[in-house]
């Protein structure tokens, strides 16, 4: 009887401690279509040698038969970003199986070599890596105000035609499963 009581107490504690991902309201800038995006980019080991635009992302999603696109905004100094990328990396096969195109977008940093080296620890071949060299994505997407810093991590879940579906703040115990769940 004591064991059963202890098990119920532990289950109750874990249920209280389990924390879902933080669902954020979509900013008005993301109300309909995604703002046009242009990133310096890499696709696995291949460099585009130019810009990864909204149209290229849509085409890649179509070519790879993706059901969803995930923009994961990160910075190398962000510990929660690292934790989220580790979780996604561990679930790369499931993300692939579920038809998720992952686009890692570095914000606010300019040292591409450092960013590239840092991302290689988590980066999967089938993912895209974008550098916000124009430093306008957080403001254009309504994720931060002009001249202010963006709080991280942020994960934007999109349809294959780049329609915003869900914006996540801090990742919870349901991450990355929330990326392929019914929204």
Could you read off the pLDDT of 155-172 as tens digits, one per residue?
A: 999 999 999 999 999 899
Residue 129 has a CB neighbour count (10 Å cut-off) of 24
Q: What are the Cα distances from residue 100, in Å, to 79, 110, 111?
A: 23, 27, 28
pLDDT interval class at 9 (50, 70, 90): low
Of the candidates 50, 47, 57, the residue with the CA atom closest to the CA atom of residue 102 = 57
What CATH number is associated with residue 113? 3.40.30.10
Checking if the pLDDT of 43 tops 70, the result is no
User: How buried is residue 8: exposed, middle or buried, by Cβ count under 10 Å (0-12/13-18/19+)?
Assistant: exposed
59 within domain boundaries: yes
Is the pTM higher than 0.95? The answer reads: no
Is 139 a member of any domain?
yes
Give the whole-angstrom CA distance, residue 97 versus residue 127. 13
Local structure of residue 30 (DSSP, 8 states) = G
Residue 48, pLDDT above cutoff 50: no
Residue 4 domain-assigned (yes or no): no
Could you tell me if residue 119 is inside a domain? yes
Structural domain for 51, as ranges: 21-179
Residues 34 and 167: beta-carbon distance below 8 Å = no
Q: Which residues contact 35 (CB under 8 A, 6 or more apart)?
A: 29, 140, 141
Residue range 102-126: mean pLDDT, rounded: 83
Strand-pairing partners, residue 111, are none
At 53 the pLDDT is 84
Q: Give the pLDDT score at 183.
A: 63
In three-state secondary structure terms, 152 is coil
Would you state the pLDDT for residue 16? 46
Query: Does some domain include residue 32?
Result: yes
Say if residue 70 is exposed, middle or buried (CB neighbours under 10 Å; 0-12, 13-18, 19+): buried
Tell whether 129 is covered by a domain: yes
Please tell me the predicted confidence (pLDDT) of residue 13.
47
Domain membership flag for residue 15: no
Number of folded domains that form the chain: 1
């Amino acid at each position: 009887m004591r064991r059963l009581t202890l098990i119920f107490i532990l289950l109750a504690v874990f249920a209280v401690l389990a924390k879902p991902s933080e669902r954020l309201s979509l900013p008005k800038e993301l109300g309909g279509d995604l703002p046009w995006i242009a990133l310096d980019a890499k696709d696995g080991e291949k460099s585009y040698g130019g810009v990864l635009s909204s149209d290229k992302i849509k085409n890649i999603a179509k070519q790879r038969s993706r059901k969803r696109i995930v923009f994961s905004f990160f910075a190398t100094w962000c510990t929660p970003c690292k934790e989220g990328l580790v979780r996604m990396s561990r679930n790369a096969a499931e993300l692939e199986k579920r038809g998720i195109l992952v686009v890692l977008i570095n914000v606010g940093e300019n040292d591409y070599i450092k960013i590239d080296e840092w991302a290689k620890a988590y980066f999967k071949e089938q993912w895209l890596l974008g550098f916000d060299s124009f430093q306008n994505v957080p403001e254009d997407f309504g994720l931060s105000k002009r001249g202010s810093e963006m709080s991280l991590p942020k994960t934007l879940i999109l349809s294959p035609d780049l329609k915003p579906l869900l914006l996540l703040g801090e990742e919870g115990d349901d991450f990355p499963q929330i990326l392929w769940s019914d929204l």
